[in-house]
């Protein structure tokens, strides 16, 4: 009589064990799918909240709005003590400071006379060359850093040689009482600034010029930072023509011929052209809030310079300051389309 061969339970698991295994696998897969969906939903919520917080303007922001002072500096701020006086005894919830300086430069007690600037430099600053697209890239970095704080509602771009002529209270009220940005913007009639190579991305009829020193509302600052349409064209085709240099005349002439004779200064055109192309000129006060005196130097070499007149300590008389204050429409021009 033959014995029945024993059947191994490992070789042929019972139906009950197999069902449990299937249920366990399904449960694990369901849990993984749920966690993935939850993570994606949470991540999207965070991204949406971040994007929304960047755009929040006066209508949505209910706390005390801040003015973000954005300084473009070569290295340190030689007039920091004046800004220290300007900000003294001001509630720090009403302003913030950001400085783009040369890479690696850190503001501390050894190189600045005002504690307001300690550690306020950007950590991702770049090397900037005057008249190059790196200038507007540095501006965009300043706006981007300031947008991280939802309380910043006005963004004032300043140079390291700018000084305040009014009290903080006056400046704060002046900026926050207007729902518009202050951007000097007008049609550029100089034929050698616009390059046809910018078309069709930037049509010639939308080409604008104005002062680099602007004051933006939050929504316009977001547009500047998020722009990946106009800026690449500026970086490629808007290039300056170097001033005459007898030593390098041949190289300069070759460069000028190479770029078809166009002399483009990016920081005098970028924001103005971008906002025009965005259909936002009706949201601008078409003037700057800074004062510059051009072409008044006694020296012929400086008269040909692209930089404004430099006031010395002896020039800063009470009468001069009063005269500047009486220029109520600095940089204003009639609206044009």
Q: What is the CATH number of the domain that holds 275?
A: 3.90.550
Tell whether pTM > 0.85: no
Residue 261 lies in a domain: yes
Domain range enclosing 304: 62-325
Residue 37 pLDDT class (50, 70, 90 cuts)? low
Q: Which residues lie closer than 8 Å to 134 by C-beta, 6 or more apart?
A: 126, 127, 128
Compute the distance between CA of residue 283 and CA of residue 289 in angstroms, rounded to an integer.
Answer: 16
Residue 337 lies in a domain: no
Identify the pLDDT of residue 292: 78
| Between 128 and 243, residue with greater pLDDT | 128
Residue 180 lies in a domain: yes
Residue 36 lies in a domain: no
Residue 144 lies in a domain: yes
Token duo for residue 7: 């059947």
Work out the average pLDDT over 119-139.
Answer: 95
**Which among 16-20, 213-217, 319-323 has the top mean pLDDT?**
213-217
Please choose, from the candidates 146, 96, 131, 157, the residue with its C-alpha nearest in 3D space to the C-alpha of residue 289: 157
State whether residue 60 is helix, strand or coil. coil
Residue 28 lies in a domain: no
Q: How many domains does the chain have?
A: 1
Compute the distance between CA of residue 231 and CA of residue 226 in angstroms, rounded to an integer.
Answer: 10
Residue 50 lies in a domain: no
Share of the chain above pLDDT 90, in %: 56
Look at 9-18, 21-30, 227-236 and tell me which has the smallest mean pLDDT: 9-18
Residue 295 pLDDT class (50, 70, 90 cuts)? low
Q: Which residues lie closer than 8 Å to 309 by C-beta, 6 or more apart?
A: 292, 293, 294, 295, 296, 297, 302
Residue 123 lies in a domain: yes
Identify the pLDDT of residue 252: 56
The overall average pLDDT reported for the chain is: 81
């Amino acid at each position: 009589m033959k014995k029945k061969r024993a059947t191994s339970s490992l070789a042929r698991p019972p139906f009950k064990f197999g069902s449990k295994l299937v249920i366990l696998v399904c449960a694990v897969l369901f849990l993984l799918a749920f966690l993935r969906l939850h993570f994606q939903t949470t991540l999207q919520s965070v991204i949406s909240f971040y994007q929304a917080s960047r755009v929040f303007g006066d209508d949505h922001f209910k706390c005390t709005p801040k003015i973000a002072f954005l300084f473009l500096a070569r290295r340190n701020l030689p007039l920091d003590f004046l800004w220290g006086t300007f900000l003294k005894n001001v509630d720090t919830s009403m302003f913030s400071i950001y400085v783009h300086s040369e890479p690696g430069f850190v503001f501390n007690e050894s190189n600045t006379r005002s504690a307001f600037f300690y550690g306020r430099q950007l950590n991702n600053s770049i090397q900037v060359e005057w008249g190059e697209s790196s200038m507007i890239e540095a501006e965009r970095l300043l706006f981007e850093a300031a947008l991280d704080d939802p309380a910043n509602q006005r963004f004032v771009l300043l140079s390291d040689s700018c000084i305040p002529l009014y009290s903080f209270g006056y400046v704060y009220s002046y900026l926050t009482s207007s729902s518009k940005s202050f951007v000097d913007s007008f049609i550029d009639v100089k034929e050698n600034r616009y390059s046809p190579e910018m078309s069709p991305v930037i049509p010639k009829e939308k080409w604008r010029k104005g002062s680099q020193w602007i004051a933006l509302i939050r929504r316009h600052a977001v547009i500047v930072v998020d722009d990946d349409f106009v800026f690449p064209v500026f970086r490629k085709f808007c290039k300056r023509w170097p001033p005459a240099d007898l030593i390098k005349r041949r190289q300069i002439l070759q460069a000028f011929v190479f770029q078809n004779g166009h002399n483009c200064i990016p920081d005098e055109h970028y924001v103005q052209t971008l906002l025009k192309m965005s259909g936002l000129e009706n949201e601008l006060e078409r003037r700057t809030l800074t004062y510059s005196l051009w072409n008044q130097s006694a020296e012929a070499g400086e008269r040909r310079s692209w930089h404004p007149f430099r006031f010395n300590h002896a020039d800063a008389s009470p009468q001069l300051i009063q005269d500047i204050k009486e220029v109520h429409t600095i940089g204003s021009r009639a609206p044009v389309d």
